[in-house]
Chains A and B, each alone.
Chain A
């Protein structure tokens, strides 16, 4: 029965025929003359099979590459963020240097504009942060010629007054402090007045201004030079608002200081020639 089965499926004749057919096909194909079309068809079919069979593996490969790339991108992004933060810090340092440079230029310009004033450049070393006290410390003292009562300027306006001079440092009270008064004159009308601080770094008040006084919003107040402390004609502030007080006799005039309170690093101490006029910019 086994022999019958073998004969049924794989007879010797079948073997011989298939082997000869195979050899004939090989020779024919090698000659390259007759099997071009079957070759194209089978290639087309096997290419499709190849693509289909390898599609999942290829998809997995691409997915793994994608995930790997994403991880790399995330790492790269973190590195860029770190670099960005470093660059921001550097940029802020450059900004600070640029501001300081600009401030120094302004101070230098002020010194050059005021040949009659004897000025000493000072650097802010500390700020006193206490309610009602607007004071700073500067790195110039008696050894630099800085004495008590001397005026302190910045590049844009009167800043304050030295109240305590030590050997190498000085304590300066700002014009925004309640304890300091600055004699001023309205540049437009020549009206004299006295302004004091109210403890607010952005506001001064003009004391005892009569309601009929020739003062208007926007008027520039400059130092009058009375008392010989502040240089005559040096800007102090600009009138912001005016309103009559309860008595109806006087006005409450609010003034914006022109000096940049708490925003300056470089200051000038007037150590001489305070009565001379300062050229206006």
Chain B
């Protein structure tokens, strides 16, 4: 399967992220595994922002953030805000040969994942106090997001995205 680097491709991968977010763990999985949940939306948006900066629109990310708000029963705008910042950072990463520098990319990802968790925690303090389980889940969620990042890169780089090497940035 090959997806184009356009809004359809972005939307489909974000829908996939949405589905992965909504999927229940199988009944035989240990309950502790629920803490080890990556931030799929953040990873996908970050991937598109860093790997397809000329095509990926921040508006798509913001709209999907709206969906994730509804999904997680979080205040409207929270995930949109986080994803906007993610896309902003992803678009402005230092580049070499039209590719983001790996070290900066990973460092930025780490900071963004931590940022997202902290912002969510702060905002959710106003909704429910204390936030149920979030403090415990934050480190595991960060680790899961970083670990899953490599899977996202492999899948989107090799299996899904149509090679657009003919696109010129000059």
Contact = CB atoms under 8 A, between A and B. Distances in A.
Contacts of B91: 6, 10
Interface stretch (B32-40, B79-87, B100-108, B130-138): B79-87
A257 B28 CA distance: 73
Nearest to B75: A29
B85 A25 contact: no
Interface in B60-99: 62, 65-67, 69-71, 73, 75-78, 80-81, 84-85, 87-88, 91
Contacts of B75: 25-26, 29-30
B56 A10 contact: yes
Given A15-B58, A25-B80, A43 B169 contact: no
A182 to B, nearest CB: 81
B70 A22 contact: no
B27 A64 contact: yes
A63 B81 CA distance: 41
Contacts of A15: 58, 84, 87-88
A26 B27 CA distance: 35
Contact of A22 (B53, B81, B87): B81
A64 B84 CA distance: 42
Interface in A38-68: 38-39, 42-43, 45-46, 49-50, 53-54, 57-58, 60-61, 64-65
Contacts of A58: 24
Contact of A29 (B22, B58, B76): B76
Nearest to B70: A42
A1 B81 contact: no
B126 A14 contact: no
Contacts of A28: 76
A5 interface: yes
A39 B76 contact: yes
Contact of B62 (A22, A26, A39): A22
A26 B71 CA distance: 15
A18 interface: yes
B81 A26 contact: yes
A26 B168 contact: no
B76 A35 contact: yes
Contact of B54 (A2, A29, A65): A2
B147 interface: no
A10 to B, nearest CB: 4
Interface in B95-150: 123, 126-127
Interface string A190-204: 000000000000000
A10 B87 contact: yes
Contacts of B27: 61, 64-65
A247 B26 CA distance: 95
A6 B54 contact: yes
Contact of A18 (B26, B58, B168): B58
B70 A57 contact: no
B55 interface: yes
A14 B58 contact: yes
Interface of A: 1-2, 5-6, 9-10, 14-15, 18-19, 21-26, 28-30, 35, 38-39, 42-43, 45-46, 49-50, 53-54, 57-58, 60-61, 64-65
25 contacts: A1-B170, A5-B55, A6-B54, A6-B91, A9-B54, A9-B55, A10-B56, A10-B91, A18-B59, A18-B62, A18-B81, A18-B84, A21-B77, A21-B80, A24-B77, A26-B76, A29-B77, A30-B123, A30-B127, A46-B67, A53-B23, A54-B22, A54-B23, A57-B23, A57-B24
